[in-house]
Structure 1
């Protein structure tokens, strides 16, 4: 079996040599990096230099998801800001090259902490430091003026929350594996409670911000934020809410589904994250109930989409047989976050 399923190395090299002649100096080899549950990520090397390539998953793909151009554009724009991102090298929209769009970026030395077992050897103090820096980088991202980095047209902040509720409802309809009445109820309540637009909270939204979408160096500093496939312009509180939901999923639905870093000794509580974000940004977060309800719904729909692809036999990696179990607990938590009608 190929070590790079979904990436023809010969076809890639021919294309990349045309983009950046002479950069690949020796025989090219590669491997699929384990752990990805959405876009596929590969590490390529010629024995001296290394590159990272990203492409959409094999098989079922929602029309609005897995946009390689978005990832490439936002990371390119953020180069030189206080937000650490890999250097971007080339983007290919032509599906004839390897069968899907893809892009190439810098390989960053760092650890994507996904489990408490990875953090535990560091000790509580270092774990707390890494988590605090994760929040600080999020604050830095939300402080970037989109227009100043050429991203004024990257999204439409006006009506963002209403579109998010509509979009994730549509995503669920496109990937349902069975009837989901509680999810329909949560979607109804979210639709009825969409807050008015608040320009003070408009900015660059990562869309999937959590510790294992960061690369942390051996010095415990955040070296890069990666996995920008859901990035846009909108209400940045959605990033913070989703981070809190990711931290709670280990207790709600089992850590193996996504991550269980929040179980590591020293990892801050959700309230500590909120307090640090507010203190570092100087912003009053207000009531986060709607944002949390939306975050629970969004994550549940993402898991359902992954589960759908698993049932279709169109996934690469381990753990997909358990991914669907997280749906109902997340929907219930979303209903709780919103409270009664």
Structure 2
């Protein structure tokens, strides 16, 4: 089994025009010959990601999904800029080569970046890695360390001070995700009224030291060195990156973090090997982050509940496209059940919370 991340055949309805892409790239990137072989990376449920293979070089193309898109989402130009400028302070961003704003080329805006070859962890840890409990813990701690490093980046020195507004960030996130969720409602979706009310009532002040917020930092969005799987060599999916409260970003990450003692319905949502012996629990993850960053976390329940509600909002936006026939990807049919489960998770956290 190949340990490096592999592309597969393109899903029906998500094909690209190889000739149009080839013409565009040869105009903007020198030294290319032949016509690219195009395949698709199967992971992800938002922007679509393709592998372009030329004899001389391999690239990754990113484009928005087909169908209705949330306002301000899937901004290819913004992500292209982040990759180019953040690399100066966080050298784990792939190099971006070209950004196309002409929809006539493939029917949507897109950008092309380098392919960073490495291992991307999915729901299970490849047995070929032979990671025991101690090395699994080391990998997990390295993953947290990179998040701390990102939050400590001098974003002003990278020319990214205008990427977001840290003042009022927490309030905008809570209000914004409530609004986005309500606009993506389908007749079968839960209301989340008790959770929305609790988040508004328990909202903390913005953290005094804002930082780069990745907004989608997960194990399956980092690339490991094939020669040394303990080493992270790349971080992917920067489309939602902004400037804001680092603890909100921690909550986003922990929303995806399914631990070993979570019940079976939650285990069914797991998309990374966060349940294995050696992996930190959510509380241990937050404690280690606090230790490494020097940030005290006194309201963990709020940030985790926010992250889970936001995850449900993302899934509901995707399910909305499936419900209305704007995508044929059958994976999304189950998102409505995940949405309902996540509401129950939040209600249980709120019921036990001391906030």
Asked if 2 retains the 8 angstrom alpha-carbon contact of 1:155 and 1:234, the reply is yes
Find the counterpart in structure 1 of residue 4 from structure 2: none
Secondary structure (helix, strand or coil) at the match of 1:7 reads: coil
- Deviation string 1:69-121 (CA, Å, 9 cap, x unpaired) is 22212121121324411111111222222111111111011122121353685
Asked if 1 retains the 8 angstrom alpha-carbon contact of 2:315 and 2:335, the reply is yes
Asked if 2 retains the 8 angstrom alpha-carbon contact of 1:26 and 1:47, the reply is yes
Find the counterpart in structure 2 of residue 12 from structure 1: 21
The 5 Å alignment of 1:283-322 reads 283-315=295-327, 317=329, 319-322=331-334
Find the counterpart in structure 2 of residue 189 from structure 1: 198
Alpha carbons of structure 1 residues 314 and 182: separation in structure 2 relative to 1, 3 Å:
closer
- Distance, in Å, in 2 between the alignment partners of 1:112 and 1:312 is 32
Task: Provide the alpha-carbon RMSD of the alignment.
Answer: 2.3
- Distance, in Å, in 1 between the alignment partners of 2:109 and 2:208 is 34
Asked if 2 retains the 8 angstrom alpha-carbon contact of 1:116 and 1:263, the reply is no
Find the counterpart in structure 1 of residue 134 from structure 2: 125
- Distance, in Å, in 2 between the alignment partners of 1:276 and 1:153 is 30
Query: Shift of the alpha carbon at 1:197?
Result: 2.5
Asked if 1:277 corresponds to 2:284, the answer is no
Match of 2:41 among 33, 44, 50: 33
Find the counterpart in structure 1 of residue 5 from structure 2: none
Query: Shift of the alpha carbon at 1:34?
Result: 0.6
Secondary structure (helix, strand or coil) at the match of 1:90 reads: strand
Find the counterpart in structure 2 of residue 101 from structure 1: 109
* Stretch deviating more after TM superposition (138-147 or 108-117): 108-117
The aligned length equals 338
Query: Shift of the alpha carbon at 1:36?
Result: 1.8
* Stretch deviating more after TM superposition (246-255 or 31-40): 246-255
TM-score using structure 2 length: 0.88
Alpha carbons of structure 1 residues 164 and 298: separation in structure 2 relative to 1, 3 Å:
same
Structure 1 runs, 4 residues or longer, greater than 6 Å off: none
Find the counterpart in structure 2 of residue 176 from structure 1: 185
* Stretch deviating more after TM superposition (250-259 or 172-181): 250-259
The 5 Å alignment of 1:157-176 reads 157-176=166-185
Asked if 1:75 corresponds to 2:83, the answer is yes
Alpha carbons of structure 1 residues 37 and 86: separation in structure 2 relative to 1, 3 Å:
same
TM-score using structure 1 length: 0.91
* Stretch deviating more after TM superposition (279-288 or 29-38): 279-288
Find the counterpart in structure 1 of residue 207 from structure 2: 198
Find the counterpart in structure 1 of residue 122 from structure 2: 114
- Deviation string 1:45-77 (CA, Å, 9 cap, x unpaired) is 113310000001111211121111222121211
